[in-house]
Amino acid sequence: MRNTYTFNSFIIILLLVLVSCDKESHKDDTDTGNRDPRLKKLTATLRINNYSYDEINEVFFRYNNKNELASIASPFLGDSVYFTYRQDGKITSAFYQETDDFQYTSQYTWGENTVTITSTSDPEAKIVITLNNNENMVKMESYEYDGTNWQLTNYNTYTWINENLTRTEIFVDAYSKAFTPEAGTEFEGTNHSGSLFYKYEDVIYTYDQKENPFRKFYFYKFSENAYMGSANNAISATTNRINIIGEHINTFTQSFIYTYQETDLPETKLEERSNSSYFQEFEYE
């Protein structure tokens, strides 16, 4: 399946997140006095050390008359995504249009406590998401079709406290070529017909006490960036990497610094990395 969760740039990640419904409001979005402020525009500046220029991108959010997110678009990059919903507000499809003219559609099939996601970009792959009673994702399973059966390739588990994602645990197939160095050289070239999974990453999140502007969309809760769909704003994400026998490989922490409007919504967000930084500015309507 073409990667619909993460791309190299922040903006592409933003455009390719998976969405659910705004469960809190179906009011007329044309009446600004009849709803809470909502995100209209995000300006992101990528600054890479030792480069003489910054990359600045703008992302625009549009809504339908039920206050559901209808589209996300970045005119500068030429990427966009458009959403459709059921009568109860649950997403049914997302149509992606990318800069290279590549187009595909993700379909969402709802069960009692599951959502199955398939994509026209790769019919032999699917994602199965398990939800808790609050419709927060507690497990994400990735499958590939081998011509006869659907084979589980990897899965993540998610822990939520007070509507904030506090922990993500990522489990990978020890025999996967992508993770052979961590799995151990004894697995190289093995003709493996079964599955042996081990925890490759364990991520812990902390939060502020302010409202997260992405929370009302609930789209991040169906993605590998599910912490972005929490009630509050993440201020740190600490990742511990582990090898197949449970030994610690390394630890790294991402920190996020905010300024806030009088309404307690974020006005700016800064993420510093070893050789770059992201600076984001939020505009509401």
Q: What is the pLDDT of residues 130-162, one digit of tens each?
A: 999 999 999 999 999 999 999 999 999 999 999
Residues 83-106, mean pLDDT to the nearest whole number: 92
Mean local confidence (pLDDT), 16-31:
42
Q: What is the mean pLDDT of the chain?
A: 83
CA distances from 254 to 64, 102, 198, 240 (A): 34, 32, 24, 12
List, for residues 222-233, the tens digit of each pLDDT value: 888 899 999 999
Q: Which residue has the higher pLDDT, 250 or 183?
A: 250
pLDDT the model gives residue 195: 57
Q: How confident is the model at residue 234 (pLDDT cuts 50, 70, 90)?
A: very high
The average pLDDT across 228-251 equals 93
Mean pLDDT of 114-119: 96
CA–CA separation, 69 and 133 (whole Å)? 23
The arithmetic mean of pLDDT across residues 244-268, rounded, is: 94
Range in 19-33, 143-157, 189-203 with the lowest mean pLDDT = 19-33
Token pair, residue 27, equals 């009011």
Query: What DSSP line would sit under 111-177, residue for residue?
Result: -SSEEEEEETT-TTEEEEEEE-TTS-EEEEEEEEE-SSSEEEEEEEEEEEETTEEEEEEEEEETT-G
pTM of the complete model: 0.82
- For residue 60, pLDDT over 80 is answered with yes
Give the pLDDT confidence score for residue 218 in this predicted structure.
Answer: 63
Phi, psi of 209, deg, nearest 5: -115, 20
Percent of the residues in the chain that have a pLDDT greater than 90, as a whole number: 63
Asked if residue 243 has pLDDT above 50, the reply is yes
* pLDDT given for residue 139 in this prediction: 97
Residue 246 has pLDDT above 80, yes or no: yes
Sequence length of the chain is 285
Residue 30, pLDDT > 70, answer: no
Please tell me the predicted confidence (pLDDT) of residue 67. 92
- Delineate the domains of the chain, giving CATH numbers in brackets: 10-284 (2.40.160)
Which of 24, 4, 25 lies closest to 16 in space, CA to CA?
A: 4
And the tokens for 75?
């005119």
Rounded Cα distance, 143 and 124, in Å: 8
Number of neighbouring beta carbons within 10 Å of residue 24: 12
Instruction: State the pLDDT at residue 34.
Output: 72
Determine the pLDDT at residue 193: 45
pLDDT at 24 over 50: no
